[in-house]
Amino acid sequence: MSGATRLPRAWFAHHALEVAPALVGVLLERTAPDGTLLRARITETEAYTEDDPACHAHRRRTPRNEPLFGPPGHAYVYRTYGIHWCLNVATGPDGEAQGVLVRAAEPLAGLAVLRARRGQRTPDRDLLRGPGRLTQALEVHGEHTGADLCGQDPPVVLRDDGARPAVARGPRVGVSRAADWPWRFTAVGSRFVSPYTRSPRAPRAAEGSAAGEQPS
């Protein structure tokens, strides 16, 4: 993997709907405290923007969602359900709230470390399949929010090794608002992708009415 190049900040300066599918297939690297290199290939992402009711920055700018408004290439890590951390990368121009949630990845290196953190009996398939599992295995947490992933010594490194998997598009997982917007991107045929689940709180799509607005 020595030919893999780090993604420059400009790579993230585009709209979340462009960056999200492009991130599928990108390498995610993190160095464990003992020096072990942890490497995975992203298999699933979701896009979020300020205009999007499901986005944390939809209502207003707050200390919590500040990284989403900041310059692209920075991490936005938040806690959900009081238990899990979720990793996003800010995209779009500085001042505009956009981001891409990294939902799942296929583990490639450092499996023993990942397994130690996730449970020795965890199947390889489940090591990084899901946003909460991924952050647990990679030890990404709240202290990393705001970190510049394109800067020096970032907690997580993103690289392009030229892989260009086919990408499918569909509705996002678990969101209660804008549940039908097809802003989730997955690697076609990958086993390391979470199954689609609709939020129990999401209103059922109104059939044949104008209520079901779905931006492209």
Partner DNA sequence: GTTGCGATTGGCT
Partner DNA sequence: GCCAATCGCAACC
Q: Say whether residue 183 binds DNA (CB under 7 A).
A: no
For DNA, give the closer residue by CB, 39 or 56.
56
Task: Find residue 168's DSSP bridge partners.
Answer: 186
90 exposure class (CB count in 10 Å sphere: 0-12, 13-18, 19+): buried
Q: At 202, list the tokens.
A: 């999401």
Q: Say whether residue 182 binds DNA (CB under 7 A).
A: no
Outline where the chain has alpha helix (H). Answer: 9-12, 16-23, 66-69, 111-118, 131-138
Q: Say whether residue 81 binds DNA (CB under 7 A).
A: yes
For DNA, give the closer residue by CB, 4 or 205.
205
CA distance 184 to 101: 9
Helices (H) and strands (E) counted in the chain, each on its own, are 5, 9
Q: Say whether residue 80 binds DNA (CB under 7 A).
A: yes
Q: At 81, list the tokens.
A: 């359900």
Q: Say whether residue 126 binds DNA (CB under 7 A).
A: yes
Q: At 31, list the tokens.
A: 């160095």
Q: Look up residue 164 and give its amino acid.
A: R
Q: Say whether residue 21 binds DNA (CB under 7 A).
A: no
Q: Say whether residue 54 binds DNA (CB under 7 A).
A: yes
The interface with DNA within residues 95-124 (CB under 7 A) comprises 99, 101, 118-119
For DNA, give the closer residue by CB, 83 or 210.
83
Q: Say whether residue 82 binds DNA (CB under 7 A).
A: yes
Positions touching DNA (CB under 7 A) are: 46, 48, 54-57, 59-60, 62-65, 68, 76, 78-84, 86, 88, 99, 101, 118-119, 126, 130-134, 172-177, 194, 197, 199, 201
